């Protein structure tokens, strides 16, 4: 039996203007943005709709902005399309849990707000960066990180799809890894730094770890209505204890996106809807498995084209 999965984007997918068409045309979007602005204590709606891009790119705004936008889209989709499982990339895993009913919109936004602030602070305390290595195997990337670790913390952070792996760590170590990757015997064609405000999914996030764990411990979680495939193991979770554990570990662990997608396909998924800004996950899924169907829902026009509105 073929199944449907909803997948939710993480940082890097944000774009100035996201959600504006929903806000201008639909009452439910206006209500949720108003509530989000109150919870955030800033005009998140203004930052989402009008930027500037530099502000939206700051992790303490990026994460809540993506979460709110994707969540509103799920409310508009309602029961017109039903997913039988869900997953999200990094921040997107929180949106996936909100969709599955693990927690409500408001509690989800509060924890995402906390996570964004902690990760921003972490990026200031332990300064680091990330880089994408394109065209190498997992084994080669791990080897490169081991060699570059003489210059500081550096580790694989996102296993996105075959030949696309992101590394994370201290600036000097990341620069060493890029140089090693480009030289023989690896001859990596593309090895470039990413525009991020910290070394996400690495040991440098340890400065945020305890506070995020405490915040997650204080959250009321419900058993999700559908399985949530988590970033740290790539496997489906349906119990609150393991979901809480996965969200705690995710901060300093690599995102196993390729494995998550392969496991969803293994379990019968043949159609993926990417719900939210951009088409990053759709692109990755197509590289992981060209045969599956992928559909994007990111704006009012997409909802109308699918006959939902």
Please identify every residue annotated as catalytic. 90, 201
Dump strand ranges (E) for the chain.
Answer: 3-8, 85-88, 128-134, 154-161, 164-170, 190-193, 228-229, 236-237, 269-275, 293-297
User: Using an 8 Å Cβ cutoff, are 230 and 224 in contact?
Assistant: no
Beta strands 190-193 and 269-275 are unpaired
H/E run at residue 181: helix 171-182
> Encoding tokens for residue 212?
């995020």
C-alpha–C-alpha distance, residues 247 and 234, integer Å: 12
Q: What is the DSSP string of 198-223?
A: S-TTSGGGHHHHHHHHHHHHTS----
User: Using an 8 Å Cβ cutoff, are 75 and 297 in contact?
Assistant: no
């Amino acid at each position: 039996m073929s199944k449907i999965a909803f997948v939710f984007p993480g940082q890097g997918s944000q774009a100035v203007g996201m959600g504006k068409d929903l806000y201008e045309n639909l009452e439910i979007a206006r209500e949720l943005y108003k509530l989000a602005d109150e919870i955030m204590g800033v005009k998140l709606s203004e930052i989402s709709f009008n930027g500037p891009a530099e502000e939206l790119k700051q992790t303490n705004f990026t994460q809540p902005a993506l979460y709110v936008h994707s969540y509103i889209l799920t409310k508009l989709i309602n029961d017109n399309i039903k997913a039988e499982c869900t997953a999200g990339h990094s921040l997107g895993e929180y949106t996936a849990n909100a969709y599955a009913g693990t927690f409500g919109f408001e509690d989800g936004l509060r924890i995402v707000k906390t996570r964004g602030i902690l990760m921003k602070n972490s990026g200031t305390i332990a300064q680091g960066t990330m880089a994408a290595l394109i065209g190498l195997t997992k084994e080669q990337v791990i080897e490169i990180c081991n060699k570059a670790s003489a210059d500081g913390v550096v580790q694989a952070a996102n296993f996105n799809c075959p030949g696309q792996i992101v590394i994370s760590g201290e600036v000097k170590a990341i620069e060493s890894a890029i140089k090693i990757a480009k030289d023989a015997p690896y001859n990596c064609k593309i090895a470039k730094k990413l525009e991020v405000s910290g070394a996400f999914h690495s040991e440098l996030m340890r400065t945020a770890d305890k506070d995020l764990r405490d915040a997650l411990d204080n959250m009321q979680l419900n058993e999700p209505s559908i399985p949530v495939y988590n970033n740290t193991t790539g496997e489906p979770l349906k119990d609150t204890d393991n979901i809480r554990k996965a969200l705690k570990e995710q901060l300093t662990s690599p995102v196993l996106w390729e494995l998550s997608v392969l496991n969803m396909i293994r379990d019968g998924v043949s159609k993926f809807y990417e719900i939210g800004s951009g088409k990053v996950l759709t692109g990755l899924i197509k590289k992981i498995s060209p045969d599956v169907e992928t559909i994007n829902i990111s704006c009012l026009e997409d909802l109308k084209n699918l006959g939902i509105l």
